[in-house]
Amino acid sequence: MALHLYDTARRGTRAFVPLIPGEVSMYVCGATVQGLPHVGHLRAGVVFDVLSRWLLESGFKVTLVRNVTDIDDKILARAMEEGRPWWAVAAHYERAFSAAYDALGVLPPTIEPRATGHVTQMVELMQRLIDAGHAYAVDGDVYFDVRSFSEYGALSGQRPDSIEPAADSDFASRKRDPRDFALWKGSKPGEPAWPTPWGAGRPGWHLECSAMATNYLGATFDIHGGGLDLQFPHHENEIAQSHAVGDGFAQYWLHNAWVTQAGEKMSKSLGNTMVVQEVLKRIRGIELRWYLVSAHYRSNIEFSDEALQESGAAFRRIENFVVRATERMGDVDPHATPMCADFALAMDDDLGAPAAVAAIHELVTEGNTLLAQGSAANAATLRGVLASVRRCLGVLGVDPLAEPWATRHSGGDDYREAVDVLVQSELHERQEARSAKDFARADAIRNKLAHAGIAIEDTAEGPRWVLAREAE
């Protein structure tokens, strides 16, 4: 089975056929940099990172554009609050998002364009819309004429009649129809402004995505992704802007579901504290990523510390296998083995992460059994299982021995080696005590190490040690 994806626009799962064989062009709505990133923001980043990795794994050449909206009403409001320029606010939170993406191992997109860098493209698009009779300028504002575009509402299944007036209803008097939305907002004194043929002003919210997607990916491209909430009005308006001028725009619309908390949507307006940098004090980045990645992207995740810890424990079982098997077999090349068929089948079915995760668990059980048997005869099989597990984990971005995790893990290599020398000598002493049936002494050593946060595992090859924090 080849890759199938759920296309919001068609309300169904269908085979993914790229415009150009072997190549995929994808645009993902990134952050409006107006606050600290929370777990929900990162879910979108992680979901489309996994899609991108799976496409790469499947042999496609991927061009991924993930924008940064760095000019917006909320950013201006935030700048007032924080008493510093809007561009300082935008830059500050953009760095916070980058750090968070990084902490979760999200691969950098091909390009991360900023809205403010693409005013030229926006002006061009507005001119095309005005020329085509789908937009009009009034007193320095430019609006999209919703009534001129019969397709409006198709993506979100809204009938134009039942759509409530757009947000900027304070401009209602200038609009031909209350549902018309602003492409461009004439600037008020003190606000940032860029020159246009219709006067100085700043971009409306939706325009930048149409302009940037088209600029980098062309008039027609393969996939457009984003959070579920963006379906309306944001993506609806993007479609309007682009289709109205005859651009094909996105062929597949993908939307990821929410991270909710106690049944409530995790929105910044609720002011909750699930910001990524806080959560990362309680759990490692790789475990947080596993938590986000092991759910289906179209299912809600109800965020809780218990669920997070439980998910972390499940991941550690897998991680332990990878580490132990690597200790036994040495490093393996994940791509030296064929892709696990069950995993591939699951991923091809609209990124069925839960079934894919189940396939990994089954591989790990098989691998653990081989590990427990410990005979040299099945070394080749074990090597294959290890490679296969790592190849699957790599698609989800959680192979502990791949970047960025490998480097982070070995960041303390010097210390680890020093500790290892000391612990090995303790373990040696304990083995001697055990041989001499002096179990009191053996247990005392074990307790001493446990007290230091080091857990001993007795394996067929003799004892090994792990930090209790990693094994708990």
The minimum distance between CB 304 and RNA, in angstroms, equals 8
Query: How many whole angstroms separate alpha carbon 422 and alpha carbon 163?
Result: 69
The minimum distance between CB 148 and RNA, in angstroms, equals 18
H-only helix segments in 245-340:
276-279, 285-293, 305-329
The minimum distance between CB 385 and RNA, in angstroms, equals 12
Task: For the chain, give the number of residues.
Answer: 472
Provide long-range contacts, Cβ within 8 A and 24+ apart, for 187-196.
187/140, 191/76, 192/71, 192/76, 192/86, 192/87, 194/119, 196/119, 196/123, 196/126, 196/142
Phi, psi of 464 (to 5 degrees): -130, 165
The minimum distance between CB 248 and RNA, in angstroms, equals 22
Of the pair 148, 231, the CB lying nearest RNA is at: 231
Of the pair 166, 392, the CB lying nearest RNA is at: 166
The minimum distance between CB 47 and RNA, in angstroms, equals 8
The minimum distance between CB 402 and RNA, in angstroms, equals 21
Of the pair 158, 215, the CB lying nearest RNA is at: 158
Query: How many whole angstroms separate alpha carbon 172 and alpha carbon 164?
Result: 12
Of the pair 259, 286, the CB lying nearest RNA is at: 259
The minimum distance between CB 18 and RNA, in angstroms, equals 23
Query: How many whole angstroms separate alpha carbon 30 and alpha carbon 3?
Result: 24
The minimum distance between CB 420 and RNA, in angstroms, equals 18
Among candidate residues 232, 238, 230, 237, the one with its CA nearest the CA of residue 255: 230
Of the pair 14, 335, the CB lying nearest RNA is at: 14
**Do residues 254 and 225 make contact, with C-beta atoms less than 8 angstroms apart?**
yes
Query: How many whole angstroms separate alpha carbon 103 and alpha carbon 327?
Result: 26
Sheet with 23-28: strands ordered across = 61-66, 23-28, 220-227, 249-256
Q: Which sign, positive or negative, has the C-alpha torsion 390, 396, 398, 402? A: positive
DSSP 8-state class, residue 117: G
Helix (H, G, I), strand (E, B) or coil at 274: coil
Q: What are 28's two structure tokens? A: 């993902």
The minimum distance between CB 156 and RNA, in angstroms, equals 6
Query: How many whole angstroms separate alpha carbon 355 and alpha carbon 259?
Result: 20
The minimum distance between CB 164 and RNA, in angstroms, equals 3
CA distances from 256 to 52, 268, 281, 299, 462 (A): 14, 17, 26, 8, 46
Helix (H, G, I), strand (E, B) or coil at 457: strand
Of the pair 95, 335, the CB lying nearest RNA is at: 95
Of the pair 44, 283, the CB lying nearest RNA is at: 44
Of the pair 283, 442, the CB lying nearest RNA is at: 442
Of the pair 134, 224, the CB lying nearest RNA is at: 224
DSSP string, 60-116: -EEEEEE-BB---HHHHHHHHHHTS-HHHHHHHHHHHHHHHHHHTTPPPPSB--BGG
DSSP 8-state class, residue 38: B
The minimum distance between CB 179 and RNA, in angstroms, equals 7
Q: Would you put residue 368 in left (φ > 0), alpha (ψ -120 to 50) or beta? A: alpha
Of the pair 151, 264, the CB lying nearest RNA is at: 264
Q: What are 245's two structure tokens? A: 């001028």
Of the pair 107, 318, the CB lying nearest RNA is at: 318
